[in-house]
Structure 1
Amino acid sequence: MSTPLYQLKAEFFKTLGHPVRIRVLELLSERDHAVSEMLPEVGCEATHLSQQLAVLRRAGLVVSRREGAAVYYTLTSPNIAELLGVARGILSGVLAGQAELLADLQAAEPGGKRA
């Protein structure tokens, strides 16, 4: 019996559910990066970055290649960058709605009455 698609999607989104992994994918959406280039951008220890890159490799989202002493990472699909852009758009809409709600709340008089 095969795994249902919704379950595979849930596992995929769990893989994306870490800030370091998201930041790595954002960086790789721009261009290939060496691990040493990513370290200052993600703000974590080298061992932690290595662990997160391993998770992304196992999930098939990135591939690595060695050039001399450096290890470079690449996205496996441009769809990953597109997905991050869609997520940014969704969040922008949500945050804009929250900003409007906050403005409405701040404009209201104490006690819940509107001015």
Structure 2
Amino acid sequence: MAVPLYQAKAEFFRMLGHPVRIRVLELLQGGPLPVRELLAEIEVEPSALSQQLAVLRRSGIVTSVRDGSTVVYELAGGDVAELMSAARRILTEVLSGQTELLQKLRGSGDQAS
């Protein structure tokens, strides 16, 4: 029996649900990067980064190429970059709305608006 699309989407977003994975995807939007550069930017233990890169690679979101002793990662497609941009826009709108509400709450005291 096939997995329902909504369940597959939930598993996809769950796979994205780690700060290191999100940061890797953000960094790779600028183009392919070797692991050493990812480590310098993310500042986690090499084993932790390796584990998160493996998750992204298994999911098909990133690809890796070995160049001698260096492993270079890149986004598998442009849709991932679009998803990251969309997430930024949505988060900006949500936080903007919260800021406006907070300002109203601070300015109105106990009065109902």
TM-score tier after normalising by the smaller chain length: over 0.9
The alignment status of 1:113 with 2:111, answered yes or no, reads yes
Cα deviation, 1:53-91, whole Å, max 9, x if unaligned, reads 000011111110011211000111110000000000000
Cross-structure match for 1:56: 56
Distance (whole Å) between structure 2 residues aligned to residue 113 and residue 76 of structure 1: 52
What is the aligned partner in structure 1 of residue 76 from structure 2? 76
Pairs within 5 Å for 1:19-58: 19-58=19-58
Residues 13-24 of structure 1: pairs in structure 2 closer than 5 A: 13-24=13-24
Provide the aligned length of Structure 1 versus Structure 2.
112
In the TM superposition, structure 1's runs of 4+ consecutive aligned residues that sit over 3 Å from their partners are: none
* SS in structure 2 at match of 1:73: strand
Per the TM alignment, residue 113 of structure 1 is displaced from its structure 2 partner at its CA by 2.6
What displacement does 1:105 show? 1.2
Kindly provide the amino acid, as one letter, of the partner of residue 99 in structure 1. T
Q: Name the residue aligned to 1:98.
A: 98
User: Could you say what the CA RMSD is over the residues aligned between the two structures, in angstroms?
Assistant: 1.0
Partner of 1:3: 3
Counting aligned pairs with the same residue, the percent is 54
